[in-house]
Structure 1
Amino acid sequence: MEMNQQKPIIEVKGLTFEYRSHDEADLIALKEVTLNVSKGEHLVVIGHNGSGKSTLAKHLNALLLPTAGTVLVAGMDTKKQELLWEIRQTAGMVFQNPDNQIVATIVEEDVAFGPENLGIDPAEIGIRVTNALHRVDMSDYRHKAPHLLSGGQKQRIAIAGVIAMKPACIIFDEPTAMLDPSGRREVVNAIRNLNREEGITVIHITHFMEEAVEAHRVVVMEDGQLVMQGTPREVFARVDELKALGLDVPQMTDLAAELRSEGIDLPEDVLTVEEMVNHLCQLKSKN
């Protein structure tokens, strides 16, 4: 997908953030981070626990405010209190635990909650709820009770609730961390489709490397700083550097590195099972 060359939807300039404490020394969680996110981009941010990635995410819709530097969302400065609602309508957020975002006892009522609080006309809310549930493949569950759903289904309902507010950008803060593999696949597919089919800008914070494979760009964080960025192929080809940071790489990338160390002629940027099979078949046909 070709990125929109207009002004970035998110601009982070020299962002520093300190967690202040009366009893202990201040913790500097972000150190002069600068990052632009283009409209329509699918950006994945990876890093181990404590690297600053979730703190960065919370700055992108003004849940946290910079100690120094600036965060602009569609040109709006997050430090301006009067712009808070408009910023959060532009950049919605989905968190780790879907139970913390579900507020109603019926699925369609939960999805309608955000638009109702925006004062949207009831007829328009009905249309938005229907469209949002369709976009996360949950239309058949609109009259169900959320507590009866699986973790992956609950997270997709949480995503639908954000979609119904029509944001231009959605920030996902480790949305699959509490899900089983099946739930993870459901949510990752929903995120991918929102970006590819709907053109919504996606910023996805994760510690699952496989979830970064289909992104347009991957950013690696360490100790509150951006230490690496590029396409998934460019970033994950740097296996030794990533492992030195305490990070994994996609399983097929790791396997390719092991096989290369055994003298098998494979490229460094293998990302998926399909690519691995193709390369091995090509080697077999040559022999």
Structure 2
Amino acid sequence: MCEKMIECENVVYEYHNENKDKNSIAVNGVSIDINKGEFLVILGKNGSGKSTLAKHFNALLVPTSGKVVVDGLETSKPENTWNVRHSAGMVFQNPDNQLVATIVEEDVAFGPENLGIEPSEIRKRVDASLKKVGMYEYRRHAPHLLSGGQKQRVAIAGILAMQPECIIFDESTAMLDPSGRQEVMKTIKDLNKNSHMTIVLITHFMEEAVDADRIVVIDKGKIIKVGTPREVFSNVEVMKNIGLDVPQMTELSYELNKVGIPIKKDILTIDEMVNELCRLK
């Protein structure tokens, strides 16, 4: 039986509208469990509630009703907040908003220092974290001189230095160019596969979701689909009806089937498409 990292039970979150009579519901009755070591992707168009839900996973927000439990700790209890954030770190969209120091290694040390870790242990953690994200050689550089992808990897190192069990990436590749996105996604996959870290990735890039263990699709604050990438993306019309795309190769297989070419409908990658087309010869 899988050990649970995050448990959501009928979570509702309402934003208070000062200028309106009625509050707006951003998350509406969400129930989902995230297992330890899992790579989970949350998809949804802008305004779907995916980022609001993600902020519940490290107690930046607490439910209006319902319950969120992170590593056995209920997030709505104030005495748990610090430990919840220690267990579940968060990397945001704009890396510039997360960098606080003028030297890379000082920035990575910031979190452990606030935890009261011994200086010798901080030194070990900083070096290990920078090596893990491939940024050790930049440890004495100024963060503002780095590329977007490099800055985001430094931000990830800063979270790693606090040794969380889970990292939530809230559209962390949205402001990066394709090269930077590739760098960060490689780091994310490596942390999950080789360090067995629980990863929750919120994204609107469908190709980033292909390697997930599970995908959760959210629309209007509700979960409308949960499954493996093949299960979710093969529902092309469902995804399009809520304003989402599917990976390019899945779209191509869908269009080929529409014109009578009988190939698999759950193709995700170029290699799979090439193999399937070769089979037709």
Give the TM interval when normalised to the shorter protein. over 0.9
Amino acid at match of 1:30: V
Structure 2 CA distance for aligned equivalents of residues 119 and 231 of structure 1: 40
How big is the shift at 1:7?
A: 3.3
Structure 1 CA distance for aligned equivalents of residues 280 and 112 of structure 2: 55
Residue 261 (1) aligns with residue 236 (2):
no
Structure 1 CA distance for aligned equivalents of residues 268 and 82 of structure 2: 40
Residue 12 (1) aligns with residue 17 (2):
no
How big is the shift at 1:209?
A: 0.5
Runs of 4+ in 1 over 6 A off after TM superposition: none
Structure 2 CA distance for aligned equivalents of residues 263 and 130 of structure 1: 56
Amino acid at match of 1:118: L
Q: Report percent identity of matched pairs.
A: 59
Match of 1:200 in 2: 197
Structure 2 CA distance for aligned equivalents of residues 184 and 7 of structure 1: 30
Amino acid at match of 2:194: E
Residue 118 (1) aligns with residue 106 (2):
no
Residue 186 (1) aligns with residue 183 (2):
yes
Amino acid at match of 1:157: V
Structure 2 CA distance for aligned equivalents of residues 7 and 231 of structure 1: 19
Structure 1 CA distance for aligned equivalents of residues 3 and 227 of structure 2: 20
Amino acid at match of 2:107: D
Structure 2 CA distance for aligned equivalents of residues 116 and 78 of structure 1: 24
TM-score (norm 2): 0.98
TM-score (norm 1): 0.96
Counterpart selection for 2:214 from 212, 217, 228: 217
- How many residues are treated as equivalent by the alignment? 280
Structure 2 CA distance for aligned equivalents of residues 77 and 158 of structure 1: 26
Structure 1 CA distance for aligned equivalents of residues 160 and 274 of structure 2: 37
How big is the shift at 1:45?
A: 0.2
Amino acid at match of 1:121: E
Deviations 1:181-239 (A, max 9, x none): 11010111110000000000000000110000000000000000000010000000000
Match of 1:107 in 2: 104
Amino acid at match of 2:63: P
Match of 1:168 in 2: 165
How big is the shift at 1:139?
A: 1.1
How big is the shift at 1:279?
A: 1.0
Query: Which is worse superposed, 22-31 or 181-190?
Result: 22-31
Structure 2 CA distance for aligned equivalents of residues 147 and 104 of structure 1: 10
Amino acid at match of 1:75: G
Where 1:113 maps in the other structure, the secondary structure is helix
Amino acid at match of 2:3: K
Deviations 1:85-133 (A, max 9, x none): 1100000000000000000000011011000000001111111111111
Match of 2:66 in 1: 69
Where 1:102 maps in the other structure, the secondary structure is coil
Amino acid at match of 2:10: G
Match of 2:154 in 1: 157
Structure 2 CA distance for aligned equivalents of residues 90 and 66 of structure 1: 19
The 5 Å alignment of 1:50-89 reads 50-89=47-86
Match of 1:34 in 2: 31
How big is the shift at 1:266?
A: 1.1
Structure 1 CA distance for aligned equivalents of residues 212 and 199 of structure 2: 9
Structure 2 CA distance for aligned equivalents of residues 132 and 7 of structure 1: 25
Residue 48 (1) aligns with residue 52 (2):
no
**Unmatched 5+ residue regions in structure 1?**
none
Structure 1 CA distance for aligned equivalents of residues 243 and 212 of structure 2: 21
Structure 2 CA distance for aligned equivalents of residues 46 and 167 of structure 1: 23
**Unmatched 5+ residue regions in structure 2?**
none
Where 2:4 maps in the other structure, the secondary structure is coil
Residue 22 (1) aligns with residue 23 (2):
no
Structure 1 CA distance for aligned equivalents of residues 133 and 266 of structure 2: 31
Deviations 1:134-176 (A, max 9, x none): 1111111111100000000000000010011000000000000
